[in-house]
Amino acid sequence: MDAYTLVIGNKNYSSWSLRPWLAMTQAGIPFTEHFVRLFHGDWRAELAKVSPTVKVPVLLHGDVAVWESLAILDYLADRHPDKGLWPADDAARAMARSAAAEMHAGFTTLRNLMPMNLRRDDLKGRGRGPGLDKDVDRVTALWRECRERFGAGGPFLFGAFTNADAMFAPVVTRLDTYGVDLDPVCAEYSQAVLTMPAFKQWKAAALEEPWIIDEDEID
């Protein structure tokens, strides 16, 4: 069986890289991490060798290249059905896929006004702007619905960790970094993500990175 290589960017900033990395680490799927320091040197040329979009992340598996976080998560779920990366129940799985797709395509204002930055601890109360409240309200309403309908049996959106949690993990970090007040259900969910051993491993590495990137460059 061909081994996986996951091409990622800076852990402090690259929210899209975090998603498949977190899912693979949490699920115990072995992979080799290939780091590309974004916005430095010939980073575009390096990424262009493996990524048609010249973006991270990219999953390399033999002669297969999968780009876009959600596509990578789907590929892994297909290849590892025993890992439970999507819920087994049809209704829960439909909602999990819908929520993940909504995250992938939406919440642009939140992403623009609250860029992921795990090293900053001075941003509480910042990141405000027109349209942000609408995005935050939708995210938290979605989290509550998932937890209330399908969250029995564990602290994650669908009880056990799934690809939906991987997709929303960067938003969890953003709301924490910028000090957004959360209702009890969402606060409990946020802590479940932030205290995952896999996430703590990612964050520890992010805190060690010395490079600073203009946040206008980051999605």
- Which segments of the chain belong to CATH 3.40.30.10? 4-83
> Is 93's pLDDT higher than 70?
yes
Say which amino acid occupies 46.
Answer: E
> Which class is domain 4-83?
alpha beta
Which carries the bigger pLDDT value, residue 44 or residue 83?
Answer: 83
Q: What is the pLDDT of residues 7-61, one digit of tens each?
A: 999 999 999 999 999 999 999 999 999 999 998 889 999 999 989 899 999 999 9
Phi, psi torsion values for 25, nearest 5 degrees = -65, -45
What is the pLDDT averaged over residues 129-147?
A: 95
Q: How far is CA 8 from CA 32, 96, 101, 118, 132, in A?
A: 11, 24, 21, 16, 28
- Which segments of the chain belong to CATH 1.20.1050? 90-201
What three-state secondary structure class fits 69?
helix
Say which amino acid occupies 21.
Answer: W
CA–CA dist 88, 95 (Å, integer): 12
Segment holding 151, helix H or strand E: none
**DSSP category for residue 32:** E
**Short-list 19, 150, 14, 111, CA closest to 74:** 19
45, 150 in Cβ contact below 8 A?
no
CA–CA dist 98, 179 (Å, integer): 27
CA–CA dist 86, 157 (Å, integer): 11
Q: What is the pLDDT of residue 217?
A: 59
Q: What is the pLDDT of residue 129?
A: 82
> Which class is domain 90-201?
mainly alpha
Q: What is the pLDDT of residues 114-134, one digit of tens each?
A: 999 999 999 998 877 888 999
CA–CA dist 95, 93 (Å, integer): 5
The pTM for the full model equals 0.95
